[in-house]
């Protein structure tokens, strides 16, 4: 189990919403980049969204306009608001932090992240 702890997953019908949360210890949360990733059964892990300390965000095309990544610095918490959910969004969702304090363009590319959570399951039924 990684140092980050996700919660908020569940089962919803298509069109529904969920908000995922990820609480991180200070040494991880102070990373410049944090992100959300997901892995569906039989598929490789894919990046969903990333956010930099300055608030810049980047999303994979399939979730643009539906998902929003955000941070609450007072709570050391990363969020992923997911609206208009689709069956193809079904996956285990993971949060991650890059462990660096270098300003850069934050991308949801998993090899760039070193701290991970254990994942939370999201199931969307049609």
**pLDDT value of residue 77:** 97
Closest CA to 49 of 28, 21, 69, 29: 69
71: Cα separation from own chain's centroid: 11
**pLDDT value of residue 27:** 92
> Cα separations (Å) of 16 from 47, 78, 120?
21, 21, 17
Residues of the chain with pLDDT under 70: 1
**pLDDT value of residue 103:** 86
The three-class DSSP label of residue 65 is coil
**pLDDT value of residue 26:** 92
**pLDDT value of residue 2:** 75
**pLDDT value of residue 1:** 61
């Amino acid at each position: 189990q990684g140092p980050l702890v996700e919660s908020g997953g569940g089962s919803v019908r298509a069109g529904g919403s969920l908000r995922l949360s990820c609480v991180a210890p200070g040494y991880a949360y102070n990373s410049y980049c944090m992100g959300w990733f997901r892995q569906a059964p039989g598929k490789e892990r894919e990046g969903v969204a990333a956010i930099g300390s300055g608030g810049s965000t980047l999303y994979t095309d399939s979730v643009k306009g539906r998902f929003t990544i955000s941070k609450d610095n007072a709570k050391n918490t990363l969020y992923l608001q997911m609206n208009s959910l689709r069956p193809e969004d079904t996956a285990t969702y993971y949060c991650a932090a890059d462990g660096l304090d270098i300003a850069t363009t934050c991308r949801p590319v998993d090899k760039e992240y070193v701290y991970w959570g254990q994942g939370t399951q999201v199931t969307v039924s049609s």
